[in-house]
Structure formats: structure tokens, C-alpha cells
Amino acid sequence: MIVNFGRYLILMYRVFSKPEKFRIYFRETIREIENLGLNSIGIVIIISIFIGAVITLQTRYNLESSWIPLYLIGLTARDTILLEFSSTMVGLILAGKVGSNIASEIGHMRITEQIDALEMMGINSASYLILPKMVAAMFFNPFLTVISMVVGIFGGWIAAIVTGALSSADYIYGVQYWFIPFYITYALVKTVVYAFIITSVSAYYGYYVQGGALEVGRASTKGVVYSSILILLTDVILTQLMLA
């Protein structure tokens, strides 16, 4: 545990040392935005639509025949999506998708000596391979979160209309009712921190793989599991810091 943390810090120190050639790093970052970011839009949209719908319906059926006004369902759905779903749930999903992708790509490069080949050219392999991924995710994941928010709230609206659980007017009124803009800031701050965790932790497990394909698979699992745990831990800490 302590050894891992020490090695992680050393790796991060290497990652953040001065890049060799800015232009090449920039090009790599753009490539990673496409690879890690744009390619995740689809899954984020699908999941957000359904979860938005489910949150709305569940809230509605839990409040069956109570005296609470129906528009509060819209408010509940909105706040759940803004506060927790679009940042943390999406973060966990990306930890699975992006984290395993990063750990297995870098792990594969390690066992096929491609990382050694980079080092032999006099290139800081840690920085070259990891920094563009971290920058790309920290820059692009907030957009994913915003997309998820919009689509999630939209999903709730669709569910409301299709099932007739509540009227479109009630839902829309609720979504706008007592809106706290700070919730969005809070979600975006969480997203950026999660992006840092996902990319650096999974890169760490990939970078130090020893052995063969089996170990690469294991590293990829470890990357996902530890990123996820750290995301949940960070969620608690940031929530206490920002909302308390």
C-alpha cells in the first residue's frame, strides 16, 4: 500500500516534468480527447437517458398518493442528476471504460518493450504516455458531465410523459424550481478530480506491469477497482468540503 503510493508519487513526478516537445504533446492530447472523450459520448448519453427516466419514475411511485406536490418530482430528479449521478455515476462508468483502456494499452506497451524503446530514445516515457491522457480527460470529462445532466433531465421528462406519471408542465416547473447553480460547479469540480484519479491510477497500474498478457489483464482490473474506490472516497470528502 505505502510502497504503491510512493511509486505512484514518483511516477506522477515524472509525468509532470517538463515535456520534450510541446507540439507533439499537444498533438497527442488532441488524439486522446478523441480516443478517451469523444468515444465516450455515446455510452454517457445512453446511460444518462435511462437513469434520468428511472429516477423520475421511482420518485413518482414512492410519493404515490401523498400530499407532496408533483412538481417536486422534477426537482428531485434534477438535483439527484446534478449532485450525484452526472458526476459520480458517470465517473464510475468512465473508470470502467477509460481506466481499463488506459491500463491495458500502457501495460501492453510495457511488456512488449515499447516503453523501453521510448526510454532508449531519450524520451520521458511516463510523461509522453500519461500526461496527454490526463490532460485530455481533465479537459473533456466536464463536457461529458454537462451532456449527462442535460440528457438525464431530458430522459426524466420523456418518462414522465410516456408513462403519464406526471404532466410535462409539472416536471418542467419542478426542474426550474429552486435551482442552485452552485450544484453544477460542485459536480464539475468532482468530475475534474475524478478524471485525474481515473487516468493516473490506471496508468500507474499499466506502467508497472511485469510479465505477460495475463498480468496486463490483472493490471487493468486493478486500475478500474482502485479508481472506483478512490472516486467514492473523494466523493465523500469533496461533498463534506463543498456542501457542508
Q: Which residues are at the interface with another protein (CB under 8 A)?
A: 20-21, 24, 109, 112-114, 116-117, 119-124
Q: Which is nearer to another protein, 210 or 240 (CB)?
A: 210
Output the smallest distance, CB 129 to another protein, in A. 11
The C-alpha atoms of residue 131 and residue 19 are separated, in whole angstroms, by: 9
The rounded Cα 156 to chain-centroid distance in angstroms is 21
DSSP string, 93-161: HHIIIIIHHHHHHHHHHHHTTHHHHHHHTT--HHHHHHHHHHHHHHHHHHHHHHHHHHHHHHHHHHHHH
Q: Which is nearer to another protein, 110 or 190 (CB)?
A: 110
Output the smallest distance, CB 114 to another protein, in A. 5
Q: Which is nearer to another protein, 94 or 115 (CB)?
A: 115
Output the smallest distance, CB 124 to another protein, in A. 7
Q: Which is nearer to another protein, 43 or 123 (CB)?
A: 123
Phi-psi region of 87 (alpha: psi -120 to 50; beta: other; left: phi over 0): alpha
Output the smallest distance, CB 2 to another protein, in A. 21
